Amino acid sequence: FDLAGYQESSGTLSGDYYDVLELPGGRTGLLIGAASGTGVPAAMGMAMARSFLAAVARDQADPGAILREVNALHSGDLRRGMYVTVLLAVLDPKDASLTLANAGHAPLLLARGGGKSLAAVHSEGIALGFDRGPVFDHTLKVVRLELAPGDRAVLYTPGITPVTGGDGSALGESRFAGLVKREGGQGAEVFVKRVAATVRKFVGDGRLNEDVTLLTLGRLAPGSPG
């Protein structure tokens, strides 16, 4: 497996976050999230969520159980109207499986076979902070998938699709999906460099209107340079 992340700030205090967590049983947690709003409230909301996630994940490797407990802990601390979206994917290297739980975040993108195909993996769930328990717990669904050699998973925050070019057009979901598919066969470090270069070229001399954050995991194919 290979792993890399990429974040570029719009110049304001960020509510985006990504992390890699060591979980029980030799598993690895891939975490990406975004807080509503901007500035200090968003950054504080995300910082609190990060603290709860890191604490709960010390003793738990089930992404659904982790997010349910974090929501119960975090909901009472968020200011009214604020929420945090989180996608948590747990890698078990023993069987090359990825187990996902999604709290209102953008879906995981999965490029299969070195970019031969691309799918958005949806797993239902509402954002942290909308509900303190019953609705959140009932809505959250866990999805499990297997990574074959040459597959690449991509977690990202919603700020990447509104990236605006010099002509006023947005990068958009279709272009971003095409970029992930086209570069899906690259190693993780090269993949994020290609994405970053494409975003920067698209923006040109302008500035990002939102933070861009991305985390990618790939299962290496035999003979791959990584």
**pLDDT value of position 225:** 58
Half-sphere exposure of 224 (CA within 13 A, CB side): 20
CA 10 centroid distance within chain: 18
8 Å CB contact between 160 and 176 = yes
**pLDDT value of position 136:** 93
User: pTM for the whole thing?
Assistant: 0.92
8 Å CB contact between 56 and 70 = yes
Single out the residue of 193, 204, 203 nearest to residue 5, CA to CA: 193
**pLDDT value of position 168:** 77
Centre a 10 Å sphere on the Cβ of residue 132 and count the other Cβ atoms it contains: 14
**pLDDT value of position 205:** 75
Alpha helices in 57-171 (DSSP H): 63-74, 134-139
**pLDDT value of position 87:** 97
**pLDDT value of position 68:** 95
**pLDDT value of position 44:** 84
**pLDDT value of position 70:** 94
- On the 0-12 / 13-18 / 19+ scale of CB atoms within 10 A, 187 is middle
The residues of the chain scoring below 70 in pLDDT are: 11, 13, 224-226
The SS3 assignment for 207 reads coil
Annotate 135-158 with b (16+ C-beta within 10 A) or e (fewer): ebeeebebbebebeebbbbbbbbb
